[in-house]
Structure 1
Amino acid sequence: MSEPQRARRRLQRSLSPVWIVPIVALLIGAWMIYDNLSRLGPSITLIMDNAEGIEAGKTLIKTRNVEMGKVEKVSLSDDLSHAEIVARMSPQATKMLNQETQFWVVKPRIGREGVSGLGTVLSGAFIQLLPGNSEVEIDTFQVLDQPPVAPPDAPGLRINLTSQIGNSVSTGDPVSYQGFTVGRVESSYFDPVTREMSHRLYIQSPYEGLVTSNSRFWTASGLDIRLDSQGFKVNVGSLETLVGGGITFGVPSNMTRGRQTKEDASFVLFNDEDSAKEGHYSDYLEYVLLVDDTVRGLSDNAPVEYRGVRIGTVVSVPWNFSAPQPDSLSRFAIPILIRIEPQRFDDSDTELDMADWKKRLEGMFGHGLRASLKAGNLLTGALFVDLNFYKDAPPFQHMTFVEKPVFPTTSGGFAQIEQKVSNLLDKLNNLEIEPILSTLNTTLASTEQTMRKVNDIAASVDKLLTDPATSQLPANVNTTMRQLRDTLQGFAPDSQGYNELTQTLSRLEKLMRDIQPVVRTLSDQPNALIFKKKLSQDPQPRAKQ
């Protein structure tokens, strides 16, 4: 009997084909997970004050109308002060997310430039992404309330302005040059420490060359109506500045254009154009006027003129009113601080020698240069300081008031009129009134007698006019005129009287011709009617001797 055979076990080292399907499925799932993860971009957080119109899973994030991400979650912050939005971006947007990247919500808006975002009425609001160029990457961004004026890398010029409180300038306001819009206000911020407004301006290309080192910026109110000592002025800006205001700039007419300014340059924003023009007069001489007349109508920034040409500005009215005056025992004048600004009539770029100007003015004081207050506008009563030469001006002694030199003054126009009226009243008081009144009484009595005679004559004339015979005179005159007309009609060329008169004149003419020989004979021989006419002998010629 043979031995039974036993089976031999072998170790199978190769993978069973049964596991091929699960392994392949695992690999495919891993590849799908990797592919899905590789397609996902970074997750960012957007901070907004109000999440109006933003919906999770629906609101898109776009750049140039191309989808760059989608909002995944909308929630409130832990302190409930703002809304936090978590959005998933596409991988393509990774290089766009940096410190300069800006986000804002696109929705229907009505602004100075018209209506925008009407396409979101049906599709819903979306978040606009503006890529930045910074190398610092961040994942939390503050969403802007308004769309930015221009991208950070937009060609042009960005400058800074500082101004005092009260300038109504906000983000998006236009920046104009000679009425043409060349830029916008990018941002406005009030610093409570310095109490100044800071504005960031963007001047678009190719207008950045208009901003130079001598440019002056001022607030454009749109409509400026002014009635002062220099007259009535009305300045009307563009419709946009008329509605919302803005900023305008330029170079003063008496200054050179200057060199082109650089990026991030700083300027001062003035309240109006006149303030901007006055702001560049850095070289000036300060004087004090001690005025005895009233200063009612004189205000700060009033002009100081010399024969109609402005050469300075009134700084303060009054100035240090309670300070002791050099001659306070004899008078108590009102001090006024003024500035003489030689740059107004010297437009050269060279530095002015103020010591020479001061010496020149002091020399003019000795020749009668005086200051006085005159009316610049009779309607408002506004005054200005007028400088002129007065030959009869008393000598002036140089003096100071609160360490400021005193400018000699004289009485103004109203004061001179008042003085003349006072002198006239004094002369009237010195007149001898009683003799004048006596003579006047006599004259009045004589005038009264004359008036009585005139009244008597007027009564006589009135009686003559009311007499019935006088009223019949026109009828008598008419009768006489008719008779004269009838008489003249009898001597018409075709009347019998005219023919008889013509025949009589013809006979008279013939008679005159016939009587002429008789008259000539009587002229030669008066006794010819009695004696015969003497015959004259024939003349005999003389014989030749």
Structure 2
Amino acid sequence: MPDAPSPPDLSTLPEAETAPKSRWKPQLVWLVPLVAALIGGWLAVKSILEQGPVISIVFKNAEGLEAGKTKLRYKDVEIGLVTTVTLSKDLKQVIATAELVKDFQPHLVEDTRFWLVKPRISGGSVTGLGTVLSGSYIGVGVGKTDRAQKTFTALEVPPLIQLDTPGREFVLHSTDLGSLELGAPVFFRRLQVGQVVAYQLDENGRGVSLRLFVHAPYDRFVTDNSRFWNASGLDVKLGAGGIEVDTQSMVSILLGGVAFETPPESAASPAAAADTRFELFADRARAMRNPERDVLKMVLFFAESLRGLEVGAPVDFQGITLGEVSAIRVELDHVSRRIVMPVEVNLYPERLRLRSRESTLPRFEGEARKRFLEELVATGLRAQLRSGNLLTGQLYVSLDVFPQASAARIDWESDPPQLPTTVGSLGELQASLQRVASRLEKLPLEQIGADLRQTLQSTSRLLNRLDTQVAPELAATLGEARKAVDTAQGMMAADEPLQQDTREAIRELGRTAKSLRALSDYLERHPEALLWGKKKETER
């Protein structure tokens, strides 16, 4: 086993001496990392100060979304970028986190809208074709409220009208949607002034509500009395002038459309406020019968058949529509034990405009309206059923003045008030026929028939006598007359002696008249010739 090594001898080493602490001097090499740190800090602070708002947008799915690539655009200007795309906790939605530019912070309010722009085909329009090459992006619509918000729900369909577009939205209600689609045009006097922007089914399922937007300045023509109707397709009418085909435009034939108009006889009213609700009618004819705001309900009782009278039939005064039939019912009158058929009508007093030389007139309402109607009834105003179409048998209610009508008044105590009526034209015809029939029944038709039979027998005997006795004698007389005429014609021939003698006598008469004329001239010159005779030529 080898020997262990001996420890080193440390006594030979020199002793350590404490050196004095020297002062540190900076080196130039440390300036580089210091400048880099300062620049990095400044960039970090600048990035924090310039960082835009971060928002969350909820989508139903992630189609067209891609983190780091999908951009946000407002009026085709890039304002942000999607940074992350994740699923919600319940896995039913997709949440896209986006970072926007700092200047857009004031516009992130409650009604700001977001939607995905991609190629779409809707109705007759194709949108988003530019995204085929560039890729989908998120469109932004700026809101108008003041309440800030960070989380938004994306729209499933891009909005047709931006919130900052001048104009107003209105709400229409209809029993069904018909052929209307999103983007369907809105017409005013055949000019396209807006479009349908949304529709939804009512909660009770009994109708559909549509929202339409009318651009400025045309929105001022929508008043509280405006009428809206479905202008889709063609409206074909057969009248006295032939077949009439009415349509707003070719677009309305293909995609449908809505038209509106204010009746000229309606009272003047200001422009309707935004979100005003209107009824959407099936056609223009029904829309123009729409009741106005001022409605006077009255009831009529007719003592004749109502066959041909329908709800919606016009109530007019000498051709001017002043109302419409609102209801036709059948009731049992407990007092008279008769079945009556009340006809309720809606009258529009504002269509009856007052004219006066005075600058100011009282409003046509209240007690003044009652007094005016009572005066009209006192002068003979009555409601009457008249035929509106002889082919279809349709009836309408006519208000007219009958000066010979019996005295009547308005029953204001009934609900609604009862307006007096008179028998219609058909009823008058039936009454006249009944009066004629009654008079015919009173005539002694049997006696008249016997007398007529006796008269016919006498006439027959007279005709037989004429045929047997008078006719032969009349024939002989006519023969003799014919012979006399022939003789006279023979005597008047040119070669007959009578004609020659007559002509000679006429010539002699002419010569005699000439001689008498000469004698008369001579006696006028020589009246003494009557005493002494004619003198000789030598005595002259």
TM-score of Structure 1 vs Structure 2, range by shorter chain: 0.5 to 0.7
Match of 1:221 among 216, 226, 231: 231
Q: How has the CA–CA distance of structure 1 residues 409 and 90 changed in structure 2, closer, same or farther, with 3 Å as cutoff?
A: closer
Q: Does residue 424 of structure 2 align to residue 412 of structure 1?
A: yes
Q: Does residue 78 of structure 2 align to residue 71 of structure 1?
A: no
**Alpha-carbon separation, structure 1, partners of 2:234 and 2:84:** 51
**Alpha-carbon separation, structure 1, partners of 2:205 and 2:363:** 32
Paired position in structure 2 for 1:322: 331
**Alpha-carbon separation, structure 2, partners of 1:269 and 1:415:** 37
Contact 2:291 2:348 (C-alpha < 8 Å) held by counterparts:
no
**Alpha-carbon separation, structure 2, partners of 1:12 and 1:195:** 98
Paired position in structure 1 for 2:215: 204
Give the TM-score taking structure 2 as reference length.
0.65
**Alpha-carbon separation, structure 1, partners of 2:537 and 2:79:** 161
Paired position in structure 2 for 1:109: 120
**Alpha-carbon separation, structure 1, partners of 2:412 and 2:328:** 17
Paired position in structure 1 for 2:339: 332
**Alpha-carbon separation, structure 2, partners of 1:236 and 1:368:** 43
Deviations 1:230-252 (A, max 9, x none): 99976422333344444444443
Greater shift in the superposed pair: 265-274 or 335-344? 265-274
Paired position in structure 2 for 1:266: 276
Alignment partner of 2:333: what SS?
A: coil
**Alpha-carbon separation, structure 2, partners of 1:94 and 1:363:** 69
Q: How has the CA–CA distance of structure 1 residues 150 and 398 changed in structure 2, closer, same or farther, with 3 Å as cutoff?
A: closer
How far 1:82 sits from its partner (Å)?
A: 3.1
How far 1:157 sits from its partner (Å)?
A: 3.2
Contact 2:267 2:350 (C-alpha < 8 Å) held by counterparts:
no
**Alpha-carbon separation, structure 2, partners of 1:399 and 1:64:** 66
Deviations 1:51-86 (A, max 9, x none): 333334443322343433333444443334433223
Contact 1:71 1:86 (C-alpha < 8 Å) held by counterparts:
yes
Q: Does residue 389 of structure 2 align to residue 377 of structure 1?
A: yes
Deviations 1:492-544 (A, max 9, x none): xxxxxxxxxxxxxxxxxxxxxxxxxxxxxxxxxxxxxxxxxxxxxxx995998
Contact 1:254 1:347 (C-alpha < 8 Å) held by counterparts:
no
Alignment partner of 1:332: what SS?
A: strand
Query: Match for 2:397: what amino acid?
Result: V
Alignment partner of 2:331: what SS?
A: coil
Contact 2:113 2:141 (C-alpha < 8 Å) held by counterparts:
yes
Q: Does residue 60 of structure 2 align to residue 53 of structure 1?
A: no
Match of 2:352 among 315, 328, 345: 345
Paired position in structure 2 for 1:482: none
Query: Match for 1:141: what amino acid?
Result: F
How far 1:208 sits from its partner (Å)?
A: 4.7
Paired position in structure 2 for 1:513: none
**Alpha-carbon separation, structure 2, partners of 1:399 and 1:228:** 41
Contact 2:53 2:99 (C-alpha < 8 Å) held by counterparts:
yes
Alignment partner of 2:114: what SS?
A: strand
Paired position in structure 1 for 2:130: 119
Paired position in structure 1 for 2:526: none
Alignment partner of 2:265: what SS?
A: coil
Q: Pairwise mapping of residues 130-529 of structure 1 onto structure 2 (< 5 A)? A: 130-132=141-143, 134-154=145-165, 156-161=166-171, 163=173, 165-166=175-176, 172-188=183-199, 192=203, 201-211=212-222, 216-223=226-233, 225=235, 235-255=246-266, 258-259=269-270, 264=274, 266-271=276-281, 273=284, 277=288, 281-318=292-329, 321-322=330-331, 324=333, 328-329=336-337, 331-346=338-353, 350-390=362-402, 393-396=405-408, 402-422=414-434, 432=445, 436=449, 439=453
How far 1:404 sits from its partner (Å)?
A: 3.6
Greater shift in the superposed pair: 138-147 or 234-243? 234-243
Query: Match for 2:327: what amino acid?
Result: S
Greater shift in the superposed pair: 192-201 or 178-187? 192-201
Contact 2:315 2:323 (C-alpha < 8 Å) held by counterparts:
yes
Contact 1:285 1:354 (C-alpha < 8 Å) held by counterparts:
no
Q: How has the CA–CA distance of structure 1 residues 294 and 134 changed in structure 2, closer, same or farther, with 3 Å as cutoff?
A: closer
Query: Match for 1:414: what amino acid?
Result: L
How far 1:346 sits from its partner (Å)?
A: 0.4
Q: How has the CA–CA distance of structure 1 residues 259 and 142 changed in structure 2, closer, same or farther, with 3 Å as cutoff?
A: same
Alignment partner of 1:407: what SS?
A: coil
**Alpha-carbon separation, structure 1, partners of 2:239 and 2:537:** 116
Give the TM-score taking structure 1 as reference length.
0.65
**Alpha-carbon separation, structure 2, partners of 1:347 and 1:55:** 70
Identity percentage of aligned residues: 27
Alignment partner of 1:300: what SS?
A: coil
**Alpha-carbon separation, structure 1, partners of 2:399 and 2:75:** 66
Match of 1:98 among 109, 112, 115: 109
**Alpha-carbon separation, structure 1, partners of 2:28 and 2:269:** 88
How far 1:89 sits from its partner (Å)?
A: 3.6
Contact 2:176 2:207 (C-alpha < 8 Å) held by counterparts:
no
How far 1:376 sits from its partner (Å)?
A: 0.4
Paired position in structure 2 for 1:481: none
Contact 1:292 1:332 (C-alpha < 8 Å) held by counterparts:
no
Q: Does residue 94 of structure 2 align to residue 83 of structure 1?
A: yes
- The two structures, once aligned, show a CA RMSD in angstroms of 4.9
Deviations 1:477-498 (A, max 9, x none): xxxxxxxxxxxxxxxxxxxxxx
Contact 1:217 1:247 (C-alpha < 8 Å) held by counterparts:
no
How far 1:373 sits from its partner (Å)?
A: 1.3
**Alpha-carbon separation, structure 2, partners of 1:40 and 1:72:** 13
**Alpha-carbon separation, structure 1, partners of 2:112 and 2:255:** 29
**Alpha-carbon separation, structure 2, partners of 1:434 and 1:82:** 103
**Alpha-carbon separation, structure 1, partners of 2:538 and 2:37:** 191
How far 1:432 sits from its partner (Å)?
A: 3.8
Alignment partner of 1:181: what SS?
A: strand
**Alpha-carbon separation, structure 2, partners of 1:355 and 1:233:** 45
Q: How has the CA–CA distance of structure 1 residues 410 and 261 changed in structure 2, closer, same or farther, with 3 Å as cutoff?
A: closer
**Alpha-carbon separation, structure 2, partners of 1:314 and 1:44:** 58
How far 1:297 sits from its partner (Å)?
A: 1.8
Q: How has the CA–CA distance of structure 1 residues 308 and 130 changed in structure 2, closer, same or farther, with 3 Å as cutoff?
A: closer
**Gap runs ≥5 in structure 1:** 454-538
Q: How has the CA–CA distance of structure 1 residues 32 and 267 changed in structure 2, closer, same or farther, with 3 Å as cutoff?
A: same
Q: How has the CA–CA distance of structure 1 residues 389 and 159 changed in structure 2, closer, same or farther, with 3 Å as cutoff?
A: same
Greater shift in the superposed pair: 332-341 or 166-175? 166-175
**Alpha-carbon separation, structure 2, partners of 1:265 and 1:3:** 105
How far 1:147 sits from its partner (Å)?
A: 2.6
**Alpha-carbon separation, structure 2, partners of 1:206 and 1:393:** 53
**Alpha-carbon separation, structure 1, partners of 2:393 and 2:375:** 33
